[in-house]
Amino acid sequence: MSTGLNVLDHVMVPDHKIMSEEEVGSLFSTYNISNEQLPKIYHDDPAVKAISAKVGDVIRIIRHSHTAGRAESYRLVIKRPKK
């Protein structure tokens, strides 16, 4: 990727942050879910590469929502399956 491009600066890309283990733990207990139930994101996704997250990390995404103003979402980093 070129030096001038930082995907996180683009208006269409919301904030991506890696969550700490405690944060992930409290997320799972509040919603009573396991990491398999989260939406996924591939390890070679440009935004994942930009924040250098690893497979198995949970990413907090802070979106500009049309309805709520600010909405949090979570994605689990997984390996891209081979076709």
Partner 1 sequence: MLPEQEKRISDADLTEKTKEQLLKYLNGRDIPAEQFDTILNRVREEYQKTRIEACEAVGIIAAQSIGEPGTQMTMRTFHYAGVAEINVTLGLPRLIEIMDARKEPSTPTMTIYLQPEYSGDRDKAREVSWQIEAAPLHEFGDITIDMENMQIVVHLNTAVCDKRKIAVSTIVETAPRKIRDRRHYRDFDYENNDQDATIVFMPKNRESYQNLFQLAEHVRNVIVQGIDDIERVVVRKESGEYILYTEGSNLKDVFDVDGVDTTRTRTNNISEISQVLGIEAARNAIIHEALATLNEQGIAVDVRHIMLVADMMCMEGEVKQIGRHGIAGEKESVLSRAAFEVTVNHLLDAAVANEVDELSGVTENVIVGQPIQLGTGDVKLIAKPMN
Closer residue to partner 1, CB minimum distance, 30 or 67: 67
Distance, in Å, from the CA atom of 54 to the CA atom of 65, rounded to the nearest integer, reads: 27
Q: Considering only CA atoms, which of 4, 9, 2, 3 is closest in space to residue 47? A: 9
Exposed (0-12), middle (13-18) or buried (19+): which is 53, by Cβ within 10 Å?
A: buried
What is the nearest approach in angstroms of partner 1 to the Cβ of residue 44?
10
Q: Which two tokens stand for residue 81?
A: 């399956």
Closer residue to partner 1, CB minimum distance, 24 or 47: 47
Residues that bind partner 1 (CB under 8 A): 2, 4-7, 9-14, 16, 39-42, 45-48, 61, 63, 65-70, 75, 78, 80
What is the nearest approach in angstroms of partner 1 to the Cβ of residue 64?
9
